[in-house]
Structure 1
Amino acid sequence: MRAVLAAGVVALIVAAGVAYAVTRNGRKDGSEARGATAAGCAPVAGAGLVALSDDKRVARADNILPVIRRDGVVAAVVQQLDLVSTALDTRELAGLNRRIEADHAAPADVAQEFAAANRLTKKVDLRITYGLTIGTTGLPEQQVVAHLYRISLEAAGYRTTVSTLADHAALHAALTSGSVTLAPEYTGSYAAFLNDRARGEPNRFAAPEFVAQSLAYRGGELGLSFGLASPAAAQDVFAVSKAFADKYHVTSLDEFARACSGTATVLGGPAECPAGYPCRQSLADVYALRAGACTELPDRGPAARAALTGGTVSLALISSSDPAFA
């Protein structure tokens, strides 16, 4: 069965070393950012976020992708999963996340609403009676997609069960052992995960053609195949507050680097941001962006959103499927 990947699903990842001042809970560690000698752009509080375009592709793309055990790959299964992949885009995925976060809606209920509105519940008489187990982690976004798979497959006559695993490693183990038949995953992250396990070391290179090859090769070794990668992506993006974008006239990372490289600029990101992908090292190397400080944030969601709108950081790493982008 063919593995279909959306064109350009993964961007180039490049890392370079630059010393940053790091803050934890608002405290700097005292080290100065090498090269951050210009004025920079101080944070600006205000409602709304703007995701900056990443023309040089610092962050890898993470489009939603059905991973299927090869013994579960039949045309009818792939057809029903492809219906889900094509029905979703990134803005709609952000909207589903907003329903969960703002309305405290259950992922299964959110999936049912979306499926009904997008004709994923339309019955297909394939006279199929055997069962499939769909895996997911506890991530609500991933659970919604798993339930969309369930609804689409049940419309074709499959009996399905959704099984929640502890994390992505446990989900992968369940796929390879056969305790689950299929699962939603993320293109770039899953390719990196498979290569890390195979090579025993982190792999930071993720050009689109490399990801396609990695998934086909590494997945094939494990008896895995793939459906159609969705346009919907839950990948790292760098965002600013709308008030910041309006004040400094920035819509892209390239514009941000030219206008805001300097000591007043505060970068926000997870614990690995000061030294890791795709944060300060990639920004410094690819965009020549220097910031005066790097503030550690506990997540790429609510904490990043609050730091941006509250005027704590100038630029933050956040998910493209965050409810703010719905």
Structure 2
Amino acid sequence: MPARRTTLLTSAAVAVLALSACGAPGSGGGTTQAPATAASGTAAACAPVAGDKLVLLTDDKGLQNADNVLPAVNTKAATDHPSLVTLLDSVSAKLDTPTLVSLNKSVDVDRRTSSDVAKEFVQKQGLAATDQSGGGAAVVVGAAGFSESATLAEIYAEVLRSAGYQASTRTIGSRETYLPALESGQLTAVPEYAASLATYLNSQANGANAAPVASSDVDKTVAALTPLAAKAGLTIGTASKAQDQNGFAVTQAFADKHKVSTLSDLASACGGVVLAGPAECPQRPFCQIGLEHTYGLKISDFKSYDFGAIGQAIRKGDATIGLVLTSDGSLG
């Protein structure tokens, strides 16, 4: 798996997650609750089932925070060029998680360039503008240092070019690097993630121990994010339905055998499962702790892997379920 936006822990959320382990909400995960009661106490343990195809189990109780893709735009640029946000919102309207998985598969698995994938996406989705509202204005779309962000940035730039903007893209790196450039106007827009950006800006504005503002509810998360962004000189566009966040996958063969499609289904069907995840998973509220407390899932064994090796461990039948990213191209 290539380097991606999120893993179990981000530097901006360390203090929040430390509190989360004691029962408070955490970045990347919803509220830690009292242990749920599930039928897993009487059901038989479910052995791993090997298979080539992975399938995400729906997080039906909102364990994870809503990291929906949305545009973040420099407010001065948005004021000077009103069509900027409107054009980028049109991209949000065409994005959902399966579409994001497909885009990532094209780049990460099929080895196509982000630029080519973006051009094809804009054409197929009919996103090219019908007027020249940009008037030749120069804009720079920033990208973080992973392929999904680069592809989204290229899509943004392609749509803006179609509207008469002189749009270029620039890969800068981490949020700690590109966000100051966006705030200062060196960058015009960046594809962002609702919960992660809200958590970061909340920490910047209110300190590392600030009460969490992100949740599994995307509308509430964006409502909390918007004023934080405004204070930083940023305008937030419409959140898409596409999410890149922590999720849990099993093989399709396992899901078919046990007739499970949600994490609640899994907890009811299985009296024990083998969980694969990074080494810190057993101590994190949105990994093993969250599965046990929110869903009542019994973890009979935990196996530690580097993040990029988890999917293969599930496919080989070394683990029943594993932590993955919901937009991972290998899920396509």
| TM-score, normalised via structure 2 length | 0.82
Counterpart position of 1:230: 240
How far is the alpha carbon of 1:126 from its aligned partner? Answer: 2.4
Q: Whole-Å Cα distance in 2 between the matches of residues 55 and 93 of structure 1?
A: 20
Q: Whole-Å Cα distance in 1 between the matches of residues 299 and 235 of structure 2?
A: 42
How far is the alpha carbon of 1:12 from its aligned partner? Answer: 6.8
- SS of the residue aligned with 1:274? helix
8 Å Cα contact 1:11/1:57 also seen in 2: no
Counterpart position of 1:129: 136
Q: Does 1:241 align with 2:251?
A: yes
Counterpart position of 1:293: 301
Gap change, CA 1:60 and 1:261, over 3 Å in 2: farther
Counterpart position of 1:61: 66
Gap change, CA 1:145 and 1:127, over 3 Å in 2: closer
Q: Does 1:270 align with 2:278?
A: yes
CA distances 1:268-315 after superposition (whole Å, capped 9, x unpaired): 22333111141011111111112022222322xx52321111111111
Q: Whole-Å Cα distance in 2 between the matches of residues 165 and 294 of structure 1?
A: 36
Which of 155, 159, 170 is equivalent to 1:163? 170
Paired residue type of 2:314 = L
8 Å Cα contact 1:15/1:276 also seen in 2: no
Counterpart position of 1:314: 320
How far is the alpha carbon of 1:210 from its aligned partner? Answer: 4.1
| TM-score, normalised via structure 1 length | 0.84
Q: Whole-Å Cα distance in 1 between the matches of residues 41 and 83 of structure 2?
A: 56
8 Å Cα contact 1:136/1:165 also seen in 2: yes
Which residues in structure 2 correspond to 1:4-23 (within 5 Å)?
Answer: 13-15=30-32
Q: Which runs of 5+ in 1 are unaligned?
A: 1-9, 19-34
8 Å Cα contact 1:65/1:184 also seen in 2: yes
Q: Whole-Å Cα distance in 2 between the matches of residues 312 and 59 of structure 1?
A: 25
Counterpart position of 1:113: 120
Q: What value does the CA root-mean-square deviation take over the aligned residues?
A: 2.4
Paired residue type of 2:67 = D
Gap change, CA 1:213 and 1:86, over 3 Å in 2: closer
Q: Which runs of 5+ in 2 are unaligned?
A: 1-26
Q: Whole-Å Cα distance in 1 between the matches of residues 82 and 213 of structure 2?
A: 32
8 Å Cα contact 2:134/2:160 also seen in 1: no
Counterpart position of 2:75: 70
8 Å Cα contact 2:61/2:294 also seen in 1: yes
8 Å Cα contact 1:17/1:281 also seen in 2: no
Q: Whole-Å Cα distance in 2 between the matches of residues 305 and 127 of structure 1?
A: 43
Counterpart position of 2:264: 254
Counterpart position of 2:145: 138
8 Å Cα contact 2:202/2:213 also seen in 1: no
Counterpart position of 1:304: 310
Counterpart position of 1:45: 50
Which residues in structure 2 correspond to 1:89-104 (within 5 Å)?
Answer: 89-104=96-111
CA distances 1:216-261 after superposition (whole Å, capped 9, x unpaired): 1211111111111112221222111111112222221111112224
Counterpart position of 2:94: 87
Q: Does 1:206 align with 2:211?
A: no
- SS of the residue aligned with 1:174? helix
Paired residue type of 1:266 = V
8 Å Cα contact 1:14/1:205 also seen in 2: no
8 Å Cα contact 1:146/1:183 also seen in 2: yes
- SS of the residue aligned with 2:303? strand
Gap change, CA 1:127 and 1:266, over 3 Å in 2: closer
How far is the alpha carbon of 1:135 from its aligned partner? Answer: 0.8
